[in-house]
Amino acid sequence: MFRVGIWLVAIVVLGSTLVKSHEESGEWSCESDSESRVAAEFRPGLVTLDGHADDWKGVDGFDFPLLPAVDPDDDHKYSGGKMTLKALHDGKDVYFLLKVDGDYVYSKGDNNKCPSVALMFQVGESASYHNMGGCKESPGTCTSKSCRGYEVDIMHFSIGNAVPGRLYGGNVIDNTQGNGGDRFGHLVDLYAWNPHCRNLDGISPSGNDSSAQNDWKGAWWHDSFTTHSGFIEEDSPYASSGKKGTYYFEFSRSLRTMDRLQQDVQFTIGQSSKFSVAFWYPVDGNPWHGSGHYSISCDWLPLDISAGSSVLSKSASGSSWDAANAFALLLSVVAFCSSVFLGYWVSKAKQVPFTPINNL
């Protein structure tokens, strides 16, 4: 049995810069699949960010088992099955879809009794998956200087106050205050140096920076819902508890952000980034706790932001070839029709009688 480090925030309380940390015991080791990776293909104009998965049907998915992050024993894996992860980009924004089966559970206002998901990305070159960046400093000494190079970027979505199908994340009010919070749906933008030193973007032990903002947007859905025209908060709990079905979590963020604090991952087309995904679920109705999440891997997974040139050139080449063939066919048809018409006209023309020159 090997031990895996806990890397994600349990739940951020607005107005607080730090979140409850976990305690890890035992020697940590990891046996990850070195060949696993996720590709975000260039697919512009395909996805609408609404929590629905219909527009993702033509996008390849990647399946990962969900094992307890603290002790990834296969005997204690998530009973609902694997998580399917899909990703794409349109040259401006990157999109993610997380799909996981689960009986419907929802408790309005209580995030810990609702499913929750998080994405974590490597920012600093020395940042490890284990220990959420791996900086050795304590909460009293971790700063942007003492932990330089150990930064990780985290997006965490807790749905206890989020209406299905509605967008949450970056909003004018919280972004105006210069932090990564979301007072409406708790889709927050965080950074960390280790499990004990994590904060909303723009908030730090040495002082806040008003230039930060929440760059993420997202929505969630469950396919047991019978209403598709749109929910409002008064419709809670939106469906009957215990209904079989699948949860969908959909997110987007710009490839590049205005971050100047080393708190956001910056995606580059044609290059790879390192990331992972976590999932919380109130098993048997019991509230989940921060370190009680499942993870798709015990180490970083490569995320390839695919270039679109090959796809576009192939499409352009195919279009040019089709146009040339169509034009050639059109000329052939015109020539054939002209030949038939000319032959018909000649055969029907009256013969001109011969008049001797002497009679002129």
Same domain, 154 and 90: yes
Per-residue pLDDT reduced to its tens digit, 303-343: 999 998 544 444 444 444 455 565 566 666 566 656 655 55
Same domain, 156 and 267: yes
162 within domain boundaries: yes
List, in sequence order, every beta strand (DSSP E) within the chain. Answer: 38-42, 62-64, 67-68, 83-89, 93-101, 116-122, 152-158, 168-169, 187-194, 197-200, 217-222, 246-254, 272-280, 294-295, 301-305
Per-residue pLDDT reduced to its tens digit, 98-144: 999 999 999 999 999 999 999 999 999 999 998 899 999 999 999 99
Return left, alpha or beta for 178; rule: phi > 0 is left, psi -120 to 50 is alpha, else beta: left
9 within domain boundaries: no
Same domain, 194 and 61: yes
CA-wise closest residue to 89 among 329, 312, 252, 241? 252
pLDDT of residue 205: 85
**Alpha-carbon gap, residue 109 to 279, rounded angstroms:** 19
Average pLDDT, rounded, for the chain: 84
Per-residue pLDDT reduced to its tens digit, 44-57: 999 999 999 999 99
- With a CB cutoff of 8 Å and minimum separation 6, the contacts of 193 are 132, 133, 135, 137, 142, 147, 150, 151, 152
31 within domain boundaries: no
Q: Flag whether pLDDT at 3 surpasses 50.
A: no
Model pTM score:
0.80
pLDDT of residue 26: 57
11 within domain boundaries: no
29 within domain boundaries: no
Q: What is the span of the domain harbouring residue 204? A: 38-307
Same domain, 217 and 322: no
Residue type, 285: G
Domain boundary among 288, 307, 326: 307
235 within domain boundaries: yes
Residue at token pair 């994405």: 119
User: How many domains does the chain divide into?
Assistant: 2
Per-residue pLDDT reduced to its tens digit, 263-294: 999 999 999 999 999 999 999 989 998 888 99
**CB contact at 8 A, 212 and 259:** yes
The residue-averaged pLDDT of 226-254 equals: 95
**CB contact at 8 A, 89 and 269:** yes
pLDDT of residue 5: 45
**Alpha-carbon gap, residue 224 to 246, rounded angstroms:** 8
**Alpha-carbon gap, residue 204 to 180, rounded angstroms:** 12
